[in-house]
Amino acid sequence: MALLEIQDLHASVDGHEILKGVNLTVNAGEVHSIMGPNGSGKSTLAAVLARRETYEVTGGRVLLDGKDLLEMKPEDAAREGVFLAFQYPVEIPGIGNAYFLRSALNAIRKHRGEDELDAMDFLPVYKEHMKLLEMDDKLMNRSVNEGFSGGEKKRNEILQMAVLQPKLAILDETDSGLDIDALRIVAQGVNAMRSPDRSFLVITHYQRLLDYIATDFVHVLVDGKIVRSGGPELALELEDKGYGSAEADAQAALSA
Amino acid sequence: MATVTGKPNRYLEAYGELIAERRERDPVWLRQLREDAWTRFHAKGFPTTHDEDWRFTNLAAMEKIPFKRAVKGSVAVSANEIEAFRVPGAACQLVFVNGYFAPELSELGRLPKGLEICSLVGAIDCGMVGIAPEGCASDGIEQHLGRYADVRRDVFTALNSALWEDGAYVRIRRGANLSQPIHLLYVSAGAGAEIMTHPRTLIVAEPTCRAAVIEDYVSLGSEAAFSNAVTELVAGQDAVVSHYLVERENLAAFNVSTLRLEMARGANVSSHSILLGGGLVRNNVHPVLSGDGAECLINGLFVGAGSQHLDNYMLVEHAQPQCSSRQFYNGILDGSARGVFHGRIVVHKDAQKTDAKQTNRNLLLSDNARIDTKPQLEIYADDVKCTHGATIGQIEEEQLFYLRSRGIDEVSARNTLLYAFAAECLDRMQEPAAREFAEGLIRERISELARNRKAVAPAAPVEEEVQRWEEVR
């Protein structure tokens, strides 16, 4: 069954239409990559799926596990299993990393009817994941993302994802600003989480992330629409020819 | 010169009564202090908004209420009622009800070594008759009382100096290291009447001692009360002293408090103000760094909702070289609450190498909330470093979304962000017991704000109004 079904999705920001009819179906266990030039609507798509309220949905439907995602508030979407790894993770002074993540996990567990975890139960899990992501223990009690390097922020996103165990993980340009070592660690974190009941939407500008994360499908988003879809080979082709060709091909296909 | 406007007679009446009551007991110097102060108050009257220092705070509502002196012992307060206000981990607690010392409600057993504490009037009366019961030491009072708080500068100080009935006298002996805070609890309990009190506190911290004092204002009942407090804190050479002001009275209360800090060479004094309650609050903090190398921290949080008016007036005087002062005030205002931060720094001619910094950050949670923030630097020395900055903003949508995108509901997310902003002041508090006490109060107040907001539909995103400035001279 499709985990995520996007049908003719239109969305705008401040009255400007950014998404102009996106269609996409993601089955459980699949990894889909969305590629496209800057300004094509990739991050808008991610934000709409995470239910950011500053993005206005003007048309279409999105079903998550058969439920209407567009009816959900951000916290409801998160509790139903949507996770967005931010392109620019937000700094939140005064709120400890571990405290924040435990609150989030407990909100989700409560929603699922599971017992909440106290600090004693939570910390070993948290520390274990930190180790896997080669993160410094000291970051645990620091404020959320405050004073973190770019790489630390991105790893922190993956850490949160690993602890929260979402059904649908959306990675919004997680590779941007990462050096090759950090990229490898982040990709390992993602790969370790692949499972038959978890899907990924990997949004990226560059093909290089896909050297590390094996993708099942690649979609090209141009000007608010998916203009081409294919297998992993499409990413390599884009790397060679650039987005211009994908767009031109699509135009040609339309006018043919 | 203006005369006292509104109903001057109540204050004159109160003064007449008090003078008659104290005729036999006040020593000559004290009678003189009261008289000078009264003359000053009577000549000047309450300030209006034409007065630059009171531009943002209108006292008309206060002047309309016929506040009266409480009759001593007229309102019975039980130990049970006081229990809720105790500070866990305090070394001792002095309780005042409607301005009068209540020994039966106070906890003064097992005082730590080097601490002398008693009611101010008790100490003076003991000194007058020449018998000083244990813990009651009058020496030092004449030397310090009224020597720092200036009746000419401020009419509320003048009114207090004329009309004070009682308050705490705290003396920390040279070198004493008090690990637990001293709790001074001032209770307004009108029991149907509108009471005014003028609590007077004197804290003498002798050289090299270490101590913390919590001055705490609370109400029993919902009547309006007028508390006009003056505290003089004298920090001797290399003394390390923290003063905590907690305002948690009811929303009908008027509270004007003046903290005058006198700091000798190398003294390190922190003033922490936590304003959570009160209808109209004016918080004056006036440190004078009058010894080389003194350091002062002025840390504050004010949280207002409804129609609360919270006015903070800082006057930091650098009188000697090599001193440093740090001011950090955070404000949170909801509903139609109004806040004022007036940060005045005066660097005198001799105060070379002064390092003074001031930061005021504010969160406005509603369209009707308002903050007036006003820095004022007066620098008469040429080799100094002074910076100031202020921000006014709202809860950041980005942070809110980040928390919500992880599954945290909107009310909790707001609560968390507000608390984090409010809690910045906690990091600057060194005494664990005082800090925990403050933390509990702040947490409770912030959840109250968040709960109240729950009923209100979320406001449409408003264009963020941010004002920033940074100036270095």
- What is the per-residue pLDDT across B26-52, written as a single tens digit (0 to 9) for each? 999 999 999 999 999 999 999 999 999
pLDDT computed for residue B107 by the predictor: 93
Cross-chain CB nearest to A74 (options B404, B417, B419): B404
- Rounded mean pLDDT, B356-385: 95
Instruction: Measure Cα distances from A136 to A99, A119, A127, A165 in Å.
Output: 16, 19, 10, 22
**Residue B456: pLDDT above 90?**
no
What tens digit of pLDDT does each residue of B95-150 get?
Answer: 999 999 999 999 988 899 999 999 999 988 886 555 455 555 667 899 999 999 99
Strand partners, B318: B289, B347
- Which chain A residues have a beta carbon less than 8 Å from that of B403? 92, 100, 104
CATH code at A2-255: 3.40.50.300
Find the closest chain A residue to B422 by CA distance: A94
pLDDT computed for residue A240 by the predictor: 82
Chain A interface includes B410 (CB < 8 A): yes
Distance from CA of B404 to the nearest CA of A (A): 5
Cross-chain CB nearest to A92 (options B405, B412, B420): B420
Which of A14, A44, A75 would you mutate first to test chain B, the one with the most B CBs within 10 A? A75
What is the reported pTM? 0.86
**Residue A252: pLDDT above 70?**
no
Q: Residue A165 corresponds to which tokens in the numbers above?
A: 């165990």
CB-CB contact of A146 with A154 (8 Å): no
Count the Cβ atoms, other than its own, within 10 Å of residue B88: 9
What's the CA gap between B170 and B106, in Å, rounded?
14
CB-CB contact of B364 with B339 (8 Å): no
Q: Residue A82 corresponds to which tokens in the numbers above?
A: 């949507």
**Residue A256: pLDDT above 90?**
no
Q: Which of A242-246, B150-154, B217-221 has the lowest mean pLDDT?
A: A242-246
Strand partners, A145: none
Instruction: Measure Cα distances from B35 to B29, B41, B160, B226 in Å.
Output: 10, 10, 12, 22
Cross-chain CB nearest to B408 (options A50, A86, A103): A103
Q: Residue B451 corresponds to which tokens in the numbers above?
A: 């709960």
Provide the CA B10 distance to its chain's centre, in angstroms: 25
Query: Would strands B355-364 and A56-64 be described as parallel, antiparallel, or unpaired?
Result: unpaired
The answer for residues whose C-beta is within 8 angstroms of residue B455's C-beta and 6 or more apart is none
Which of A13, A51, A54, A92 would you mutate first to test chain B, the one with the most B CBs within 10 A? A92
Name the residue with higher pLDDT: B254 or B9: B254
First-last CA distance in chain A:
34
User: HSE (CB half, 13 Å, CA atoms) of A136?
Assistant: 10
Find the closest chain A residue to B404 by CA distance: A75
CB pairs under 8 A between A and B: 74
- Which chain A residues have a beta carbon less than 8 Å from that of B419? 94
Q: Which of A21-30, A110-119, B138-147, B400-409 has the lowest mean pLDDT?
A: B138-147
Residue B4 carries which DSSP code?
P
Helix (H, G, I), strand (E, B) or coil at B346: strand
- Rounded mean pLDDT, B292-296: 96
- For chain A, the structural domain boundaries read 2-255
Chain A interface includes B411 (CB < 8 A): no
Q: Provide the pLDDT confidence category of residue A235 given band limits of 50, 70 and 90.
A: confident
- Rounded mean pLDDT, A84-108: 95
Q: CB A74 to CB B416 under 8 A?
A: no
Q: Residue A197 corresponds to which tokens in the numbers above?
A: 């009941």
Chain A interface includes B407 (CB < 8 A): yes
What tens digit of pLDDT does each residue of B251-279 get?
Answer: 999 999 999 999 999 999 999 999 999 99
- Rounded mean pLDDT, B435-451: 93
Distance from CA of A165 to the nearest CA of B (A): 11
What tens digit of pLDDT does each residue of A81-94 get?
Answer: 999 999 999 999 98
pLDDT computed for residue A177 by the predictor: 82
Chain A interface includes B110 (CB < 8 A): no
